[in-house]
Amino acid sequence: MSRSYLSLGSNLGNREENLTHAIRMLEDVEQIRVEKTSSIYQTEPVGYSNQPDFLNMVVRIDTELSPEQLLDETQKIESELGRVRALRFGPRTMDVDIILFENEKRKDEKLTIPHPRMWERAFVMIPLLEIFENTSNEVFECETVRLYSDIHSGSNRGKLSEKPENK
Ligand code: ADP
Ligand code: MG
């Protein structure tokens, strides 16, 4: 059994209903159990800004699928929810990204884990931290992500100084 975190986003149609629907479809997959869900956040679009606001959330799942099989399932959900892949970073009824999958690392165009843009996306990091906050013993991710958020909130924990110049 593997633990994975998925980011869900919708900015077309009934956005909240789309999120609920996607979660139900995840639960309907026999090898997936939805364990935790974050709050829903309304966020400004990133990249291509002339489009409606998104609703975003993160869910934690347990799954017996491999990362590649999980991607197949999440893409099925995206297309069943009517996503039109017209424009990269454009509007979509449902975007499901695999953020983390245990300690797995992948670097294919088809599948990169951890998700390469998660660190710069508040709409991923904030709901992810919310799930970590409410869970003890999520040690590895928690430490990494908390350190990251300490650094970026300007707290005095985390990075001590800028990288020294190479002499
Ligand atoms: P984004 O989610 O970055 O806004 P898309 O959803 O349009 O962009 O991404 C499309 C492609 O990204 C998919 O065809 C998929 O194969 C690839 N991809 C690579 N890594 C991942 C990942 N971790 N989760 C989901 N899709 C991924
Ligand atoms: Mg995606």
> What is the extent of the structural domain holding 38?
2-162
Return the pLDDT at 50. Answer: 85
What separation in Å is there between the alpha carbon of 67 and the centre of ligand 1?
A: 13
What CATH number is given to the structural domain containing 154?
3.30.70.560
Q: Please list, residue by residue across 35-58, b when 16 or more beta carbons sit within 10 angstroms of its beta carbon and e when fewer do.
A: eebbebbebebeeeeebeebbbbb
Q: Please state, in angstroms and rounded to a whole number, the distance separating the CA atoms of residues 58 and 19.
A: 10
Residue 42 lies in a domain: yes
Return the pLDDT at 86. Answer: 57
Residue 151 lies in a domain: yes
Q: Please state, in angstroms and rounded to a whole number, the distance separating the CA atoms of residues 44 and 50.
A: 10
User: Residues lining ligand 1, CB < 6 A?
Assistant: 71, 88-89, 95, 97-98, 110-113, 115, 117
Quick one: CA torsion of 84, 53, 126, 95, rounded to 10 degrees? -10
Q: What is the pLDDT along the chain (167 residues), one digit of tens a residue?
A: 999 999 999 998 899 999 999 999 999 999 999 999 999 999 988 887 888 899 999 999 999 999 999 999 999 999 998 755 556 666 778 999 999 999 888 999 899 999 988 888 889 988 998 888 766 555 545 556 666 666 556 666 555 556 666 54
Residue 34 lies in a domain: yes
Residue 51 Cα to chain centre, angstroms: 20
What separation in Å is there between the alpha carbon of 157 and the centre of ligand 1?
A: 32
For the chain, what is the domain count?
1
Residue 167 lies in a domain: no
Phi and psi of 19, rounded to 5°? -65, -45
Q: Please state, in angstroms and rounded to a whole number, the distance separating the CA atoms of residues 109 and 97.
A: 13
Assess contact for 52 and 11: CB atoms under 8 A. Answer: yes
Return the pLDDT at 30. Answer: 97
Assess contact for 52 and 12: CB atoms under 8 A. Answer: yes
Tokens 């197949």 belong to 72
Catalytic residue among 15, 60, 97, 121: 97
Residue bearing the CA closest to ligand 1, atom 13: 110
Q: Would strands 54-63 and 2-10 be described as parallel, antiparallel, or unpaired?
A: antiparallel
Return the pLDDT at 47. Answer: 80
Task: Give yes or no: 53 in active site.
Answer: no
Return the pLDDT at 167. Answer: 47
- Can you list the positions of beta strands (E) in 91-143? 95-101, 106-107, 112-113
Q: Which atom of ligand 1 is nearest to the CA of 88?
A: 7
Taking the alpha carbons at both ends of the chain, their separation in whole angstroms is 48
Best residue among 83, 110, 117, 119 to mutate for probing ligand 1's pocket (most ligand atoms within 8 Å of CB) is 110
Residue 103 lies in a domain: yes
Phi and psi of 55, rounded to 5°? -105, 130
